[in-house]
Structure 1
Amino acid sequence: MKKLFIGCSVFALFISCISFRQKNVLYSGNPIFQGWYADPEGVVFDDKYWIYPTVSCPYTEGVYFDCFSSSDLVHWEKHSNILDTTEIKWAWQTMWAPAIVENNGKYYFFFSANDIQNDDQVGGIGVAVADRPQGPFKDLLGKPLIDKFYNGAQPIDQFVFKDDDGTFYMYYGGWRHCNMVKIKSDFTGFIPFDDGSIFKEVTPENYVEGPFMFKRKGKYYFMWSEGGWTGPDYRVAYAIADSPFGPFKRIGTILEQDPDIATGAGHHSVIIVKDKYYIIYHRRPLTETDQFSRATCIDEMSFDENGFINPIKMTFEGVKANPLK
């Protein structure tokens, strides 16, 4: 793996992570940590913020994961190589789009691997488990959790959502199709829906990939990425529904390129803490054209009086420090 780490670091431009001070208030700065990282999953565990991103480099080199932790959104600690293909024996090239949940004291780490193009290829969505948020993670199943195309959805870009009643749902899918499944609490398989089906398609208008869900005031906010991940028009849109099953009617775009800041803003997650909503996403600096030149950033997300998400203004300052303790 050492050679792969070196190859990926050559491809990465390590940007100085600057903390901004405005009127004696400390800000995170954007990007929030060094290196090319994309598809960030943000979450809070053990009184710390955690971000699990994709290592953004060529497919044959992006075969491991790092993660980052912070107590205040400003100072980040890197945890290197929390999972790689020496542990996931069935994965042989790029692993990306991590998602993570905690249940019964265990941390379950979901990922996409091998970028399969048909049902005859090996790969899809995998799951690993650890006793700590920073791993090391071990393959839970020894095989993919989902390794086939259902309803036209490529098995990638999974997100696991825990509803208020304790039910876990997974939303996933590429190739402009999104499925949802009800997943067992030990994450070894699926629970059929009331009609006996396993995979339900819930694809909203313009959906491409990168689904995400959160709940606010009894409403389900379903979000996704549109456009092409290699291009400047990558963006985030959303819908609001009364049920985790939808229907998810597209409302509009809330994050997109800014000619003064960056392009390719998408594949995000949301952290909710102390009545604050933070959107964590990747974007491509204006000086960069390479498809892998993506940096992880954070900005605040807000709502209007009717509960709709206000358009997000990307910044270089990032967000104010928000200590969890």
Structure 2
Amino acid sequence: MDRRDAVLALLALGAAPFAAEAQQATKVARIGYLSTSLAVSPQTHEAFRQGLRDLGYVEGRNVVIEYRDAEGKVERLPALAAELVALKVDVIVAAEGTVTALAAKQATRTLPIVFASAAGDPVTSGLVTNLARPDGNVTGLCTLTADLVGKRLELLTQAIPGVSRVAVLRLPGALGERTEKDYLKATDVAGRALGVRLQFVEVRGPADFDRAFSDMTRVSAGALTVLPANMFRREHRRLVDLAAKNRLPAVYTSREFVDAGGLMAYGPNHADLFRRAATYVDKILKGAKPGDLPVEQPTKFELVINLKTAKALGLTIPPSVLARADEVIQ
């Protein structure tokens, strides 16, 4: 080997670690993003992306997100989850609800899954075996909103003193069988404790909305509470319009209803949950096992009240309720 070849060989040896390091630094992570409907709440999906950016992930540079949108048709979720598994993504994010997370879990027992806002208790719904140590390939953040049903009813009765009959709008199958039973039981218990009669009104889709509100009027419901369902969030403007048309004060699960003209909403801050989901993804991409990451519960809740709507309904919200609001829309 002559002197020139020796120098080149030394340079090649010296450059090898840097090349390997550069290759590692530019490794592109692939995230599967399974959603029942990306149109439901765009701000929450953006919150997840912002959470990734805050952690140094830039789409197209060091991360690719494979989106799969069921467009409100939950029966499509199993096939969409299977597509993400076939793509061999590094982690699947189940963007909304227990049903989405269960579809992902049924599609794979090995790929890591992070649920961003599973409704109810993930243990009773079968997502994990334990909140502190989930085991398996699934972890994430839950809303535990079955416990909030009573809180919403309480706020409604305080905002409308003397209300005696409350309609409860529900979409059968929206939450998964176990979680749905928890919600219905919690609603019934809360109604009894508050001394109000509950009128459960079921819908199967938006085509049933007009009939549902006619049923509420027919039984002389004095107010309305809406149980969680992604379809309701997707159709939130129409539900709010129908409540106004039928002069029904209503409490909802999340703030987009109030932004659209609904009276009030109380629940977890979903944008915060989705931002925190990005932290789970980051840990898993760096080698953590889902089963070792505890399931987290909401840390931020928000009560939002629309006084413009209250005025249109002829209501005066008591100062004691307004004082508890995180935001009051004038």
> Shared fold by TM > 0.5?
no
TM-score, normalised via structure 2 length: 0.26
Determine which structure has the larger helix proportion and give its number. Answer: 2
TM-score, normalised via structure 1 length: 0.26
Determine which structure has the larger strand proportion and give its number. Answer: 1
Pick the structure with greater CA Rg: 2
